[in-house]
Chains A and B, each alone.
Chain A
């Protein structure tokens, strides 16, 4: 009997994804929104790895690697945008005030 059945993996990934989604929806601070996005990506990666373990296929971990690359790019670009907005003199990290980007 495996330590962790596929149903448990799916349940945990659902809970994690819901927490991340709630974080994106309720927080307006852009740093926290990025962290919630990372949690959601982790939940998706967990489903891939769990499915790979369930059907004993290496493709699950291949997808995990690609999700890791995606998360790195997303975090780097998001943090660069946050720094750029901050350097233009906005005192707050509120995401709702960032609707007037130019260039």
Chain B
């Protein structure tokens, strides 16, 4: 197994273990973002660069922002200043920072001309995925749209009840 793949895999597993053992939810979100970034690097090594981009954009972008918003709205326990002080301590961001630096170093190594030619897998491009998605699997796209609509309606319903109770 290639050393880069081993490194990314270990960052993924370490990040996942850190996610489920943190006490503060924001620290867990930081580790989860690093885990998703390392997983995206693994997907690139598997020849699925389109999936890796989607992983970064949708997971590490959109879904993690949802988590951060909800944690901000919940506002559990401590008063604000004490909580900010707790979150800005180096102990809080040093672990995710180091893991993210490892992933970033991997990226820089791969795009530098020193690394030689990677043993490239025959990759599956977005073109193939699009042809398959809207050809054979077009019914599943419709089903996924039903699922998204159902999620939208139920989230709106739950939120609306909350507004009326206030």
Chain A contacts to B: CB under 8 angstroms: 1-5, 8-9, 12, 15-16, 19-20, 22-23, 26-27, 29, 31-32, 34-36, 38-39, 42, 45-46, 49-50, 52-53, 56-62, 64-66, 68-77, 79-84, 86-88, 93, 103
Q: Which of B13-21, B84-92, B99-107 contacts A (4 or more CB under 8 A)?
A: B13-21
Query: Are A38 and B32 in contact, CB atoms less than 8 angstroms apart?
Result: yes
Query: Are A58 and B129 in contact, CB atoms less than 8 angstroms apart?
Result: yes
Complex Cα gap A3–B5 (Å): 7
Complex Cα gap A87–B54 (Å): 33
Q: Which residues of A contact B128 (CB under 8 A)?
A: 58, 61
Query: Are A19 and B121 in contact, CB atoms less than 8 angstroms apart?
Result: no
Query: Are B159 and A22 in contact, CB atoms less than 8 angstroms apart?
Result: no
* 8 sample A-B contacts, Cβ–Cβ < 8 Å, listed by A number: A19-B20, A31-B71, A32-B19, A35-B20, A38-B63, A58-B132, A74-B151, A80-B158
Q: Which residues of A contact B66 (CB under 8 A)?
A: 75-76, 79
**Shortest distance in angstroms between A59's beta carbon and chain B's nearest beta carbon?**
6
Nearest chain B residue, comparing its CB with the CB of A70? B147
Nearest chain A residue, comparing its CB with the CB of B48? A49
Complex Cα gap A45–B52 (Å): 11
Q: Does B109 contact A (CB under 8 A)?
A: no
Chain B contacts to A: CB under 8 angstroms: 1-2, 4-5, 9, 12-13, 16-17, 19-20, 22, 25, 28-29, 32, 35-36, 39, 42-43, 45-48, 50-51, 54-55, 58-59, 62-63, 66-67, 70-71, 73-74, 76, 118-119, 121-122, 124, 128-129, 131-133, 136-137, 140, 144, 147-148, 150-152, 154-155, 158-159, 161-162, 165-166
Complex Cα gap A91–B13 (Å): 32
Query: Are A53 and B121 in contact, CB atoms less than 8 angstroms apart?
Result: yes
Q: Which residues of B contact A23 (CB under 8 A)?
A: 19-20
Query: Are B144 and A61 in contact, CB atoms less than 8 angstroms apart?
Result: no
Q: Which residues of A contact B151 (CB under 8 A)?
A: 72-74, 76-77
Q: Which residues of A contact B32 (CB under 8 A)?
A: 35, 38-39
Q: Which residues of B contact A38 (CB under 8 A)?
A: 32, 59, 63
Query: Are A8 and B5 in contact, CB atoms less than 8 angstroms apart?
Result: yes
Q: A8-B1, A83-B73 are in contact. Are A72 and B62 (CB under 8 A)?
A: yes
Q: A68-B58, A82-B70 are in contact. Are A12 and B129 (CB under 8 A)?
A: no
Complex Cα gap A4–B44 (Å): 10
